[in-house]
């Protein structure tokens, strides 16, 4: 399919980086556009090496993929340059000239503003940077000398690629329930995180999208404050093997069992056509490393079937381990 959108279903942490890295390698992506900002990290594992990426698209793992950051994104210049060096993508990454810039003052505001206290922000400064953009006073990528070699018109490039039938992926960040509009307000991020907003930030019209793949994790986690139905104690999460730390901030992730009601809401908001389920091996350890559906135990198959029954979309990809290729691909 020429254009696919990847959207998180819950409060982030669903394993979008893993799914994107698999698609990059398996489907040989031509173009990947990252949206959102530095306050979300996508984790990629390949050959035992871990990357936690705040700026560079997770599809960097495929060396022929063109990497782009959309006009709706907010760029942390130092972090971007650091990740470009780490991933060695200097010659194949571009930033839209109208992407806005996060400055040090925004981080300070994020950490000290009274109205943000208790909301669980990451402290990167994304919210204040968005505020400044709305006031039409933000610095843009085109105003930053260090970014000049990377400036492109992302919308034009992506749409030209779609016209040519190339394989394009729009990489969403965070999760649907962190959406400024559709999430657990006020415990949300400073932007919409749905598939529609991902398209908007990349400059791609909704009629150009062929597939919306929403990513579920086999259990739910949330970083920071805000409601989490069915939340487990830290001790119980550790006992079940569901305790995690955030890839970007290192903060503890709160855990809860999979919630079908929220899964259905995520499918509705995103207009999802397919689903991916990650970390099935954390709930059903017998699944670890499986590459075919027939290898899964009965209980795991029943769980996947229930997701399909309640959401009315197929579970196309199933993650069975941390590595990019630890996937059961049911699309065929």
232 backbone φψ class: left, alpha, beta (φ>0; ψ -120 to 50): beta
Planar angle of CA 151, 154, 157, nearest 5 degrees: 110
Assess whether 13 carries a catalytic annotation: yes
**Marked catalytic residue, from 30, 42, 106, 110:** 42
Indicate which residue of 13, 30, 96, 326 is catalytic.
13
Alpha-carbon span 203 to 154, nearest angstrom: 7
CA dist 124 and 34 (Å) reads 18
pLDDT value at residue 115:
58
DSSP 316: E
CA 259-265-269 angle, to 5 degrees, is: 145
Nearest CA to 251 among 121, 86, 125? 121
pLDDT grade, residue 248 (50/70/90)? low
pLDDT of res. 186? 93
The pLDDT assigned to 118 comes to 53
**What pLDDT does 106 receive?**
85
DSSP strand E in 97-155: where? 100-101, 151-152
> Phi then psi for 38, rounded to 5 degrees?
-75, -10
Whether the ω angle into residue 186 lies within 30 degrees of 0, i.e. cis, is yes
Is there a contact between 69 and 75 (Cβ–Cβ < 8 Å)? yes
CB-CB neighbours of 306 under 10 Å: 13
Give tens-digit pLDDT for 41-58: 899 999 889 999 999 999
User: How far apart (Å, rounded) are the C-alpha atoms in residues 229 and 263?
Assistant: 13
**238 Cβ partners below 8 Å, 6+ apart?**
none
**Multiple choice CATH, 3-329, 3.40.440.10, 3.40.640.10, 3.30.56.10, 3.40.430.10:** 3.40.440.10
Average pLDDT over the chain, rounded to whole? Answer: 93
Catalytic (active site) residue 326 = no
Average pLDDT over residues 252-277: 97
Question: Average pLDDT of 101-116?
Answer: 77
Tell me: pLDDT of 332 over 80.
Answer: no
The vertex-316 CA angle with 315 and 318, nearest 5°, equals 80
The answer to whether 97 touches 142, Cβ cutoff 8 Å, is: yes
With 0-12 / 13-18 / 19 or more C-beta atoms within 10 angstroms meaning exposed / middle / buried, residue 164 is: exposed
Both structure tokens of 129:
């940077």
């Amino acid at each position: 399919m020429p254009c696919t959108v990847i959207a998180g279903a819950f409060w982030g942490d669903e394993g979008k980086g893993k799914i994107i890295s698999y698609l990059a390698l398996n489907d040989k992506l031509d173009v990947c556009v990252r949206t959102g900002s530095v306050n979300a990290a996508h984790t990629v594992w390949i050959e035992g090496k871990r990357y936690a990426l705040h700026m560079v698209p997770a599809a960097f793992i495929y060396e022929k993929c063109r990497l782009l950051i959309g006009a709706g994104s907010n760029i942390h210049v130092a972090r971007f340059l650091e990740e470009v060096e780490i991933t060695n993508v200097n010659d194949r990454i571009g930033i839209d000239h109208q992407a806005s810039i996060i400055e040090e003052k925004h981080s300070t505001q994020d950490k000290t503003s009274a109205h943000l206290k208790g909301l669980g922000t990451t402290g990167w400064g994304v919210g204040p940077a968005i505020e400044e953009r709305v006031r039409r006073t933000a610095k843009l990528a085109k105003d930053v000398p260090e970014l000049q070699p990377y400036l492109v018109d992302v919308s034009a490039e992506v749409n030209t690629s779609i016209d040519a039938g190339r394989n394009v992926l729009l990489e969403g960040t965070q999760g649907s329930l962190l959406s400024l509009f559709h999430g657990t307000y006020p415990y949300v991020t400073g932007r919409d995180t749905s598939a529609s907003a991902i398209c908007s930030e990349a400059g791609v019209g909704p009629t150009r999208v062929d597939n919306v793949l929403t990513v579920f994790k086999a259990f739910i986690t949330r970083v920071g404050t805000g409601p989490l139905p069915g939340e487990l104690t830290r001790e119980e999460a550790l006992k079940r093997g569901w305790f995690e730390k955030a890839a970007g901030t290192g903060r503890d992730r709160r855990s809860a069992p999979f919630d079908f009601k929220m899964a259905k809401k995520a499918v509705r908001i995103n207009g999802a056509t397919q689903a991916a389920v990650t970390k099935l091996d954390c709930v059903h350890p017998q699944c670890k490393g499986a590459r075919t559906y027939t290898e899964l135990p009965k209980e795991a198959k029943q769980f996947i079937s229930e997701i399909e029954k309640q959401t009315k979309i197929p579970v196309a990809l199933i993650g069975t381990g941390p590595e990019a290729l630890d996937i059961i691909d049911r699309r065929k």
